[in-house]
Amino acid sequence: MSATAPSATTTFADLGVPAPIVDALDARGITSAFPIQADTLPDTLAGRDVLGRGKTGSGKTLAFSIPLAARLAGSGHTRKPSRPRGLVLAPTRELATQITATLEPLAAAHGLKVTTIFGGVAQNRQVSALKSGIDIVVGCPGRLEDLMKQRLLHLDAVEITVLDEADHMADLGFLPGVTRILAATPADGQRLLFSATLDNGVDKLVKRFLHNPVLHSVDEANSPVAAMTHHIFDVTGADAKKALVHKLASGTGRRILFMRTKHQARKLAKQLTDAGIPAVDLHGNLSQNARDRNLAAFTEGSARVLVATDIAARGVHVDEVELVVHVDPPAEHKAYLHRSGRTARAGSTGDVVTLVLPDQRRDLAVLLRKAGIKATPQQVTADSAPVTALVGEVAPYVAPAPKQAPAQPSGAAHGTSRPRRRTGTRGGGQGGQQGNGSRGGQGGQSSHRGQGGQGGQRSQSGQRTQGGQRSQGGQRDHAGQGGQQQANGGVRRRRRPAAARTAG
């Protein structure tokens, strides 16, 4: 069963969206529906199962967030500990976080609570949120299954389930876990599945878990692929490619550069930053805090360039990305489309550049043919007219943050702790002051170069002072004995006889 899309100028109120959600959308400057929203909302708001074939950037997050909030608000049920009523499955942590950011204002308009659950961070806060009572959970399959096995999350109260980017779930090998999660939800619940394609097992999910779904597809004329301009830049070698990458990254707008490996992504981000082009990396080796921090820097504009790997491609949903550069061409055509979908989002246009070395030309031609992309290769350098036109205004140089020097241990004549042991020559520092009591003064901090310092003076009672602290060479001399004793060149001199060390 399929349906045709209403006019793109349809308002949300016209589509039957509740007034509190319309007001929340108005507050964010969203007043009219995109095609996939106008197409699906009459069915999703009515409780039907929907299969959405919306491409990335088409507005599908709102297409499922609106009915999810609206229908849960109108169901009359209350939240319970560890038993959410709405569930959204996403393939990556970044996508789950961004879905939550879109969904929360709509849910809050009806007093609904949303939480995000994914791996890579401690589960304590997530468990606490569940126990306090949550209406909607947005999460990734791995952590969700972990919590289900620990009996900290129960899905028997789920009324609406959304599976976003199901094709990417399949690409990452998540479908077995997704199948188990969907099987744990009530069979009579509403289910919404969004996917660019129906291969790699996605069609089996549709047949098993969706009941008489209504199929909706975005008009290809309005899809992001049609709004992109594709460029193929031939480069002669590694040096020419490096110069071209720096030039393409130098513009004022947001751009995303894709690499094949985590190491190369990290390396390129550092090189660009050192060259005065603020850049951050995004890949699987980063901690969750680092991923969030880097993505926030890119979203907020303190970093104009994001250097990412394929695994991060589907998790980056940032508007107004004007340029995507395939620094390393992807391995297959689906990855090309996923990467390229980071631009031309939300009705805007964008440019996609692929850099190709001589030995990559044949493979790239096959890839583009499978992706349905037609573009004429151009032989360019960093100074070529097509490159300059694409870059536009060059952003001002931004000096990289100064590197922080390692902290140096502090010390005083009456030091109370020893510096860390280091390699080097031995030798004590200057001895402490003469003590007024029964013991001599405590030895001072070591000299910087390990040269022996002067020993402490003898106490009034005649007992010897305590030896000096360790030098940076890591050894302690035995200064502070009766009289002066110096360790020259870091070598301790022989101790004086015991009789000479005491004064009576």
pLDDT per residue as tens, the chain (504 positions) = 444 444 447 899 999 999 999 999 999 999 999 888 999 999 999 999 999 886 666 688 999 999 999 999 998 888 999 999 999 999 988 889 989 999 999 999 999 999 999 998 999 999 999 999 999 999 999 999 999 999 999 999 999 999 999 988 998 899 999 999 999 999 999 999 998 778 788 999 999 999 999 998 764 434 445 568 999 999 999 999 999 999 999 999 999 999 999 999 999 999 999 999 999 999 888 888 898 899 889 989 999 999 999 876 666 677 788 899 999 999 988 889 888 877 766 556 789 999 999 999 999 999 999 988 989 999 999 999 999 999 999 999 999 988 765 555 554 444 444 445 444 444 444 444 444 443 444 444 444 444 444 444 443 444 444 444 444 444 444 434 444 444 344 444 444 444 444 333
Could you tell me if residue 3 is inside a domain?
no
Could you tell me if residue 217 is inside a domain?
yes
Q: Are residues 73 and 217 in the same domain?
A: yes
* Sign of the CA dihedral running 167, 170, 174, 177: positive
Q: Are residues 280 and 371 in the same domain?
A: yes
Q: Are residues 237 and 252 in the same domain?
A: yes
Q: Are residues 257 and 380 in the same domain?
A: yes
Single-letter code of the amino acid located at 315: G
Q: Are residues 231 and 121 in the same domain?
A: no
Could you tell me if residue 496 is inside a domain?
no
61 Cβ contact partners less than 8 Å away, ≥ 6 residues apart: 98, 99, 102, 103, 164, 317
Q: Are residues 307 and 187 in the same domain?
A: no
Could you tell me if residue 488 is inside a domain?
no
Domain count, the chain: 3
CATH number of the domain encompassing residue 267: 3.40.50.300
pTM: 0.61
Taking alpha carbons only, the member of 1, 146, 16 closest to residue 71 is 16
Could you tell me if residue 299 is inside a domain?
yes
- DSSP H or E segment with residue 301: none
Q: Are residues 172 and 304 in the same domain?
A: no
49 Cβ contact partners less than 8 Å away, ≥ 6 residues apart: 190, 191, 192, 210, 211, 212, 213, 214
Order of all β-strands in the sheet with 350-356: 279-282, 305-308, 254-258, 321-326, 350-356, 228-234, 377-379
Could you tell me if residue 154 is inside a domain?
yes
Find tokens 């850049």 and name the residue: 279
Q: Which of 366, 391, 416 is the last residue of a domain?
A: 391
Please tell me the distance from the alpha carbon of residue 450 to that of residue 475, in angstroms, as a whole number. Answer: 9
Q: Are residues 28 and 151 in the same domain?
A: yes
The token pair at 444 is 């001072």
Domain containing 445 equals 424-482
Please tell me the distance from the alpha carbon of residue 36 to that of residue 6, in angstroms, as a whole number. Answer: 9
Q: Are residues 213 and 230 in the same domain?
A: no
Q: Are residues 320 and 440 in the same domain?
A: no
Could you tell me if residue 160 is inside a domain?
yes
- Do the beta carbons of residue 118 and residue 91 sit within 8 Å? no
Q: Which of 344, 370, 391 is the last residue of a domain?
A: 391
Could you tell me if residue 306 is inside a domain?
yes
Q: Are residues 216 and 229 in the same domain?
A: no
Cα diameter, the chain: 108
Taking alpha carbons only, the member of 95, 154, 106, 99 closest to residue 127 is 154
- Do the beta carbons of residue 504 and residue 462 sit within 8 Å? yes
Q: Are residues 24 and 38 in the same domain?
A: yes
